Amino acid sequence: MLGESDVRLTAWVHGHVQGVGFRWWTRSRALELGLTGYAANKADGRVQVVAQGPREACQRLLDLLESGQTPGQVDKVISDWSQPADAIAGFTER
């Protein structure tokens, strides 16, 4: 259920982030924060993270993605904030 203050974070994570447990780690952090969405491998080697929920929780997830404490090696994170789209059930790996 989306609340009035909910946002959608789309983050493109660049670096060595595929095949290292990055999506699983991201899913675990997002669920701890009560977010819904997904983490998906892209053909060019990036991981796309889409998270919906309270802005504070989405910002915390973004901070974690940029923390240097993730699996693999994150070189940069490009983020985009928007209004939440249709509700997403759970947080999945794609």
User: Which positions are annotated as active-site residues?
Assistant: 23, 41
Q: What CA–CA distance (Å, rounded) separates 42 from 71?
A: 17
Distance of CA 85 to the CA centre of its chain: 15
